[in-house]
Chain A
Amino acid sequence: MSETVAVAVSSPAIARPPSRAQRITDRAFVACCRGFAGLSLLLVGFIILDIALTAAPAVREQGLRFLTSRTWDPNQEAYGILPEIWGTLYTSLLALLIGGAFGIAAAIFLAEGYLAGGVFAVLKAVGIAYKPVWRDLPDRVEDLLRNLIELLAAIPSVVYGLWGLFVIIPLIRPACNWTHARLGWVPFFGTTLSGPGVLPAVVVLSIMILPTVTALSRDALVAVPGKLRMAAYGMGATRWETITAVILPTAARGLFGALVLAFGRALGETMALAMLVGNSNRISLSLFSPANTLAALLANNFPEAGPHEVRVLMYAALVLLGITLLVNVVGALVLERATAGLRGAR
């Protein structure tokens, strides 16, 4: 923070140095801002500590067996979260595959100006491309598309869950059961889809992470210096030769960061999965079998848990916290270094 400089002023009626009281409030305000900032760091520490301390008795009692055991039975006091860890990673990876592919495709579509170019071509064919009202239309349409994709992120998770339950599951069930009847020997299609299951959860999850992927990868693609693109075009490369050989490699770090952060989102996503994944302690490769995730386990079991089960659930929350914090920190670091790297290229 820069120090305020008291200047000798010729006309005290217009300007005067700050009074003693003003200088004291100034110091106090600056200190207050700094204090709040420090508090926010403390808050993060407190959140982690709070979860860890409440989980501590269960960690001591259950030990590492908790991470490798497969049963969850409050009556027998036998707890294990291996199926949940498997389900969390399996659904998130599949969602990252689908959501990542579609998200990056949409980012390329937006960053390469396909839509604005198309609208401009149409306007030019009609002959009004440079007329006052129509001139802004290409940019407007592109902004609209970007906002529409961001709206996907605005729809609450629980509404996606409701939609998945009543739209996606009935829609894909016949196709899934047909696939199972024909290709049942493939492990991915090993069971029938009787309702909630991995595939509906993955479909909804990939829709939910798509806006994150698109927004962050579009930023990375737009940040590629224009002269690289111009050089590639100048050498006679087609648009896609430029994209695959120049733009994507240059933006690779940003794209990777976007995917990692989206993976973090997918790992922690709760309500849609609690409604769609089936909540069954099962480890299976099948896309159609019900499964469970850490977040869904917490959402389903916390409201009715007794004091002992609560501590065990806190242990599960701690595991989830560890996984997501790791992924998020890696993602944030990668994105930070990506922007720093591009600053050098410019």
Chain B
Amino acid sequence: MSSDTAPSRRPQPILDNDPFAHVDFPGLEKSLRRPRTLVNALLSGLVALMTALALAPLLSVVIMLFWRGGKKLSLAVLTHLPPAPLEEGGGFANAILGTGVMVGLATLTVVPFGVLIGVFLAESPLESRLAQAVRFAAKVLTGFPSILAGVFAYGSVVLATGGFSALAGAVGLSVLMIPTVILTAEDAIRMVPARMREAALGMGATHTQTVWMVLLPTALPGILTGIMLAVARACGETAPLVFTALFSNYWITSGGRFDIMQPTASLAVLIYNFAGMPFPNQVELAWAAALVLVLLVLAANLAGQALSRRQRGLS
């Protein structure tokens, strides 16, 4: 490669027609004094450094969350309603409940649809037009901006029902959850060994029986992974809730009864609202809520990863 070194430094040829006479042996020496090796080492170091730098924010976020959020975190914070401005104490119990209700509603609607569409995708031949279109639509939806899911929920639910509500928030979240559930369910079902499906069909099982008794039970860990990942994402989403579920300082009730047509608090929107306030108590609460939210999201993520390890062990 680099043949520009002085010819005098080549070893003397032993034979008359040495086949290696033209090889630049010193140029192949592995030493940091050679530009090739030096560039190689420098670039390797640079890449390692950049990777380490990429992880620095994660470390910083986690440390700050435990430092600033951990100080404020207590049982009182988890059981009280948000404080008024300049009021001391308070908590975000209603926000935890609100996040749970909206994510729960969204999960309940998304899971049956998502899993069955996943079954359809995994069972149709690869060249099926409809399957290709659905898969492509799901891939495009994974990159769908979360704020537009909020705009959609606003246009289809808030404008139609005439008010901000937990239902609208759940609709916004479900738009963001469905592609993850579809694509991971398809992958999980495709990973079921072909011999199991063939054995079931060979014994005379109908397609439906094969799906319900063989494919779905076998692929269950993988499907659950997808659901957990979708739940983790939905828990942390703010943009679809900020103008659909809005926020509320109170429990999600009207006239003493549980009511999903009320404006509803959520952890994410609480962090957004309180972070911008000039009151130290609210800012501290935002940090504590962020810690709770990140722990929730991480728990869902880790549960999903543990499940996917089980699925991999199977095939």
Contacts and interface: CB of A to CB of B under 8 A. Distances in A.
A157 B55 contact: no
Interface string A105-131: 110111000100000000000000000
A47 B152 contact: yes
Contacts, number: 271
- The residue among A16, A147, A238 with the most chain B CB atoms within 10 A of its own CB is A238
Given A36-B116, A47-B152, A1 B123 contact: yes
A33 B119 contact: yes
B236 A159 contact: yes
Nearest to A274: B272
A278 to B, nearest CB: 12
Q: Is the contact region of chain A dominated by helix, strand, or loop, or is it mixed? A: helix
Given A26-B207, A264-B143, A156 B238 contact: yes
B137 to A, nearest CB: 5
A158 B120 contact: no
Contacts of B203: 15
A177 interface: no
B239 A324 contact: no
A162 B267 CA distance: 13
Interface in B134-190: 134, 136-141, 143-148, 150-152, 154-156, 159, 175, 178, 182
Contacts of B301: 151, 154
Given A22-B209, A237-B1, A264-B143, A324 B148 contact: yes
A105 B51 contact: yes
A166 B283 CA distance: 10
Q: How large is the interface on B (under 10, 10 to 19, 20 to 34, 35 or more residues)?
A: 35 or more
B293 to A, nearest CB: 6
A109 B51 contact: yes
B40 A238 contact: yes
Given A9-B204, A34-B120, A329 B155 contact: no
A299 B121 CA distance: 35
17 contacts: A4-B206, A18-B209, A25-B208, A105-B46, A106-B54, A148-B58, A157-B239, A159-B271, A161-B275, A163-B64, A210-B54, A214-B54, A238-B36, A270-B239, A299-B147, A302-B151, A324-B148
A341 B53 CA distance: 33
A289 to B, nearest CB: 19
B298 interface: yes
A87 B85 CA distance: 33
A92 to B, nearest CB: 11
A156 B28 CA distance: 50
A145 B211 CA distance: 36
Contacts of A210: 54
Contacts of B130: 34, 37-38, 41
B61 interface: yes
Interface in B271-309: 271-272, 275-276, 283, 286-287, 290, 293-294, 297-298, 301, 305
Interface string A11-50: 0000111100011011001101110111111011011001
Given A151-B58, A239-B44, 18 more contacts: A22-B206, A26-B209, A29-B211, A32-B116, A41-B130, A41-B133, A106-B50, A106-B51, A151-B298, A269-B145, A295-B239, A298-B147, A299-B239, A302-B243, A313-B151, A314-B155, A320-B147, A332-B136
A165 B275 contact: yes
Given A33-B116, A37-B120, A152 B58 contact: yes
Contacts of A261: 143
Contacts of B68: 166
Given A161-B272, A240-B44, A268-B144, A40 B134 contact: yes
A299 B243 contact: yes
B6 to A, nearest CB: 20
Contacts of A33: 116-117, 119-120, 123
A303 interface: yes
Contacts of A313: 151
Most-contacted residue by chain A among B44, B134, B208, B237 (CB, 10 A): B208
B138 A40 contact: yes
B152 A239 contact: no
Contacts of B152: 47, 50-51
B137 A317 contact: no
Interface string B12-55: 00000000000000001000000011011001101110110111
B268 A158 contact: yes
Interface of A: 1-2, 4, 6-7, 9, 15-18, 22-23, 25-26, 29-30, 32-34, 36-41, 43-44, 46-47, 50-51, 54, 101-103, 105-106, 108-110, 114, 145, 147-149, 151-152, 154-163, 165-167, 207, 210, 214, 236-241, 243, 261, 264-265, 267-271, 274-275, 295, 298-299, 302-303, 310, 313-314, 317, 320-321, 324-325, 328-329, 331-332
A275 B140 contact: no
B242 interface: yes
A109 B156 CA distance: 46
A329 B140 contact: yes
Contacts of B131: 37
A295 B156 CA distance: 19
Nearest to A99: B54
A338 to B, nearest CB: 14
A34 B129 CA distance: 12
B139 to A, nearest CB: 5
B207 A314 contact: no
B233 to A, nearest CB: 8
Which of A4, A15, A30, A158 has the most chain B CB atoms inside 10 A of its CB?
A: A158
Nearest to B283: A166
Contact of A162 (B1, B239, B286): B286
